[in-house]
Amino acid sequence: MKFSEVVGQSITKQKVLPLLRSGRLPHALMLLGPEGNGNLALAIAMATYLQCENPSEEDACGECSSCQKNQKFIHPDVRFSFPVVKPEKKKSPPVSKDYILDWRSALAENVYLSYNDWMQSIGAENRQGNITAEECREIIHQLNLKTYESGYKIQIIWLVELLGQEGNILLKSLEEPPPNTIFILIAENGEAILNTILSRVQLIKMSGIEDEDIAQALLQRFDTDEETALRIARISDGNFNAALTYAQGENKPYDQVLRQWLLACYNLKLKPSGQNTETLLGWIEEMGKSGRENQKIFLKYALFFIRECTYLALTGGSQKLYGDELKFAGGLAKQLGVEQIETMAKLINALHYHIERNGNPKILWMSTSFKIASVFSRQEVIVE
């Protein structure tokens, strides 16, 4: 992975490149930023640059044997640790290398993957993944071996917030790593990280990716037009993983799906009939089939849309909605008051929260739909 392949993040690239060029890179650093912002991609680009046999001022060469190995995530001196669950037939606690082949193919498919994508790809179902004490001991053991091929040994730990108290096993290594060892820790949720770890790393905070950068990257990867790319970028909220999912789902635009849902909820209360109940149940059935990650992204879109409706209701305009979307939002803003729109936003937010925490999607969609129906008929609604 070269820096040129990392979407946007030019500020962070300009921050780390001089450190990499001059060899003044701290021996333990942490890239902290929201899901889908490319902090893992950047860590891999840094490792690739450090191992490259022929780097330029700005990037790795992409062609030497080190770069080729890093392209496939198989460089022997770049080690990955990541959350895992116990494999079925294994008695001892799991370590990352139990899943190294899955990891490489997941990265080859999408280096912007989310924790949930990863858990799904290893069949974790509802189990919580973590980085075990055994993995921490394995890290220390491996880093104390000689380097195989290059000057540096690089240990990348993805989602360091899932280390828990086990992280304390690593403190001494983080403080005084073996010579020529670099730790690159990656985190999304700063509040969940042990203070003992935070105080031993140089923290590099990263934000989400700029809309323009996401749009450019989509235009390079998909057969789409500039307006669609920008629209997807705006609703992705700096998350390139979300943008990829939106772009892949473009054949069924989210605004139409949302319209069908809200209309079904509306009809349920105001024009109750067997037919209208069937329509809503059918919609929920379809949504339930689309997978948890897709549902979460759809809900992010719904939230974005409802918030724009609030602006529209308050100011009479929106800078982010166009065409049919804007017309639909205008209708909704007219139909409902600001207070009702706010309640709807809270309901959708709560639904996202519960879907993310592995609640039963069918039940959750059903109960939220009934509550939204009550919002349309201006009844009191409790958000849980």
- The least distance separating Zn ion from the CB of residue 49, rounded to whole angstroms, comes to 8
- The least distance separating Zn ion from the CB of residue 204, rounded to whole angstroms, comes to 23
Residue 298: strand, helix, or coil: helix
Q: How many residues bind Zn ion (CB under 5 A)?
A: 5
Name which of 199, 189, 196 is nearest 162 in CA terms: 189
Name which of 56, 78, 75 is nearest 4 in CA terms: 56
Residue among 41 and 187 whose Cβ is closer to Zn ion: 41
Q: Applying CB under 5 A, does 52 fall inside the site for Zn ion?
A: yes
Distances from the Cα of 181 to the Cα of 57, 61, 155, 200, angstroms: 22, 22, 8, 15
| Dihedral sign from CA coordinates of 217, 219, 225, 226 | positive
Which residues inside 249-288 make contact with Zn ion, applying CB under 5 A?
none
Among the residue ranges 13-21, 61-69, 86-94, 111-119, the one whose residues contact Zn ion (CB under 5 A) = 61-69
Distances from the Cα of 364 to the Cα of 38, 137, 355, angstroms: 31, 41, 8
Residue among 70 and 340 whose Cβ is closer to Zn ion: 70
Residue 106: strand, helix, or coil: helix
- The least distance separating Zn ion from the CB of residue 59, rounded to whole angstroms, comes to 9
Residue among 62 and 288 whose Cβ is closer to Zn ion: 62
Contacts of 58 (CB under 8 A, 6+ apart): 3, 17
Q: Residue 241 pairs with which residues in a beta bridge?
A: none
Among the residue ranges 52-60, 313-321, 338-346, 347-355, the one whose residues contact Zn ion (CB under 5 A) = 52-60
Among the residue ranges 7-15, 45-53, 80-88, 326-334, the one whose residues contact Zn ion (CB under 5 A) = 45-53
- The least distance separating Zn ion from the CB of residue 150, rounded to whole angstroms, comes to 11
Among the residue ranges 64-72, 180-188, 210-218, 334-342, the one whose residues contact Zn ion (CB under 5 A) = 64-72
Alpha helices in 190-273 (DSSP H): 195-198, 211-221, 226-236, 240-248, 254-270
- In degrees and rounded to multiples of 5, residue 182 shows phi and psi of -125, 130
Residue from 19, 34, 64, 221 touching Zn ion (CB under 5 A): that is 64
Residue among 2 and 320 whose Cβ is closer to Zn ion: 2
Which residues inside 66-85 make contact with Zn ion, applying CB under 5 A?
67
Q: Applying CB under 5 A, does 5 fall inside the site for Zn ion?
A: no
* Contact between 1 and 184 (Cβ < 8 Å): no
| Dihedral sign from CA coordinates of 76, 79, 82, 85 | positive
Residue among 4 and 202 whose Cβ is closer to Zn ion: 4
Among the residue ranges 50-58, 240-248, 289-297, 371-379, the one whose residues contact Zn ion (CB under 5 A) = 50-58
Residue from 19, 61, 281, 381 touching Zn ion (CB under 5 A): that is 61
Residue among 20 and 52 whose Cβ is closer to Zn ion: 52
Residue among 17 and 257 whose Cβ is closer to Zn ion: 17
Angle between helices 226-236 and 240-248 (to 10 degrees): 130
Question: Alpha-carbon distance 186 to 114, whole Å?
Answer: 12
Q: Applying CB under 5 A, does 182 fall inside the site for Zn ion?
A: no
- The least distance separating Zn ion from the CB of residue 145, rounded to whole angstroms, comes to 23
Among the residue ranges 53-61, 107-115, 229-237, 291-299, the one whose residues contact Zn ion (CB under 5 A) = 53-61
Binding residues (CB under 5 A) for Zn ion: these are 52, 60-61, 64, 67
